[in-house]
Amino acid sequence: MSEPTEREVLERVDRVRRRRPRVTDERITLSHGSGGKATHALVEALFVEAFRNPILEPLEDQAVFEVGQARLAFTTDSFVVSPLFFPGGDIGELAVNGTVNDLAVSGARPLYLSAGLILEEGFPVADLRRIVASMAAAAERAGVQVVTGDTKVVERGKADSCFINTAGIGVLERDVRLSVSAACPGDAVIVSGPVGDHGITIMLARGELGISSDLRSDTAPLTDLVGLVLEAAPQTRFIRDATRGGVATICNELAQASQVAVVLDERAIPVRPEVRGAAEILGIDPLYVACEGRFVAAVPGERAEAVVAALRGHPQGQGAAVIGHVAAEPPGLVLVDTAFGGTRILDMLVGDPLPRIC
């Protein structure tokens, strides 16, 4: 048997990657929560298998369905961030914005939220007051109401101080059908602002690294910005907020679901110098670092400039930029045109460098 060529090996690897993921681990590890490959395997092999239905199967960040005449979006998210309070926000604000954004990026107008709190015995009521006040303020800013909720308390040591789950419902008033599988060759890939602020802020706020900075979390509701994109480019294919796993994970999800290549220009990706510096020291790629107030959008190439101009006209979107384009080949891969002048791929994350970031 002759030795396979590099090309043949790469094709074989591609075939292996296209196989349906399986969960072979005996126990849950932190990797399963990273938003990367292990999370995807868990979702596809365990959850989708069990709950299989046409609303779930597209694996968007929210379910979209019709009730009577109305198209509704529905989503849920849990928050376990540590520390609870950090520069630029806290767990309460995150819990509201996270769910609001998962609704908003479908093109929906977020309406109502639920809030479920799991509290550890001994948790200071003053901290709880602060968190709840911040949830109320975030809800007001985002134009949603918290209309139902639940509280559980567990014994000391059985949960870490305070976990929050929120679910939300919104209404789709525009005739848009955004989907992770809708990208086409020639589309532009846009990010709504500098990436990685939230994740690096949390890392530094833990105080274990001895690095100080003026960074603040970017947590914010994205409803207005999404509206601007959809007005400037009604044929927008896809929008997703870049939370766990960062911009890299979203681009991979897009490339795989749409069976296209996503080509990013490293020099065009906005990253604050403080984020780059800290990520460099920690050996982390900012493209994998979570944001809580940024999205990635794929829009028809000819509308890219109009979308960026519209975003930059809004106080939250001033750092918006076209960071790449969609090509037909090689399908399923994210390529990076490096600042140095070379090419590399950008894969899904394996393992979790930053647990409990949101």
Partner 1 sequence: MRDRPAPPDAPTPATEGGPVAVTSAMRFVDEFRDRDTARAVAARIAELCEPGRRYGFMEICGGHTHTIYKHGIEDLLPEAVDLVHGPGCPVCVIPMGRVDDAIWIAEQEGVILTSFGDLLRVPGSRGSFLEAKARGCDIRMVYSPLDSLRIARENPDRRVVFMAIGFETTAPSTAVTVLRAAAEGISNFSVLCNHVSIIPALRAILAASDLRVDGFIGPGHVSTVIGCEPYRFIAERHGRPFVVAGFEPLDILQSIQMLLLQLHEGRSEVENQYTRVVSWEGNRKAVRAIEEVMEPRATFEWRGLGWIPDSALQLRKEYAAFDAERAWEVPAARVADPRACQCGEVLRGVIKPWQCRVFGTACTPEAPIGTCMVSSEGACAAYYNFGRFSRPRAAAARRG
Under rule CB under 8 A, residue 207 binds partner 1: yes
- From 95, 164, 257, 278, residue interacting with partner 1 (rule: CB under 8 A): 278
- Min dist CB 323 to partner 1, Å, is 14
Of 174 and 356, the one with the shorter C-beta distance to partner 1 is 356
Stretch that binds partner 1, among 21-29, 94-102, 159-167, 168-176 (CB under 8 A): 21-29
- Min dist CB 341 to partner 1, Å, is 5
- Binding pattern to partner 1, positions 283-322, x when CB under 8 A? x---------------------------------------
Stretch that binds partner 1, among 91-99, 112-120, 162-170, 325-333 (CB under 8 A): 325-333
- Binding pattern to partner 1, positions 335-354, x when CB under 8 A? xxxxxxxxxxx-x--xx-x-
Phi, psi of 165 (to 5 degrees): -115, 135
Of 137 and 328, the one with the shorter C-beta distance to partner 1 is 328
The amino acid that residue 264 corresponds to is L
Stretch that binds partner 1, among 56-64, 111-119, 220-228, 334-342 (CB under 8 A): 334-342
Under rule CB under 8 A, residue 83 binds partner 1: no
> CB burial class (10 A; 0-12, 13-18, 19+) of residue 18?
exposed
- From 10, 55, 133, 309, residue interacting with partner 1 (rule: CB under 8 A): 10
CB 275 within 8 A of CB 197: yes
Of 283 and 315, the one with the shorter C-beta distance to partner 1 is 283
C-alpha span between 358 and 340 (Å, rounded): 33
Under rule CB under 8 A, residue 44 binds partner 1: no
Residue 68 backbone class (left: φ over 0; alpha: ψ -120 to 50; beta: rest): left
Per DSSP, what are the bridge partners of residue 166? 77, 115
Distances (CA, A) of 298 to 308, 321, 356: 12, 12, 28
Which tokens go with 261? 């290549």
C-alpha span between 108 and 93 (Å, rounded): 20
Under rule CB under 8 A, residue 210 binds partner 1: yes
Task: Give the footprint of partner 1 on residues 165-194 (CB under 8 A).
Answer: 186
Under rule CB under 8 A, residue 41 binds partner 1: yes
The amino acid that residue 7 corresponds to is R
C-alpha span between 21 and 37 (Å, rounded): 9
Under rule CB under 8 A, residue 153 binds partner 1: no
CA torsion, ordered 182, 186, 192, 197, to nearest 10 deg? 90
Which tokens go with 201? 């802020």
- Min dist CB 258 to partner 1, Å, is 14
Of 153 and 281, the one with the shorter C-beta distance to partner 1 is 281
Which tokens go with 70? 């109305």
> CB burial class (10 A; 0-12, 13-18, 19+) of residue 170?
buried
Do the strands 89-90 and 70-79 form a parallel or antiparallel pair, or are they unpaired?
unpaired
Residue 186 backbone class (left: φ over 0; alpha: ψ -120 to 50; beta: rest): left
Stretch that binds partner 1, among 101-109, 153-161, 190-198, 207-215 (CB under 8 A): 207-215
Under rule CB under 8 A, residue 20 binds partner 1: no
C-alpha span between 157 and 122 (Å, rounded): 10
Of 142 and 346, the one with the shorter C-beta distance to partner 1 is 346
Of 17 and 109, the one with the shorter C-beta distance to partner 1 is 17
Distances (CA, A) of 113 to 49, 108, 166: 28, 14, 6
Residues that bind partner 1 (CB under 8 A): 3, 6-7, 9-10, 12-13, 16-17, 24-31, 37-38, 41, 186, 207-214, 261, 263, 273-274, 276-278, 280-283, 325, 327-330, 333, 335-345, 347, 350-351, 353
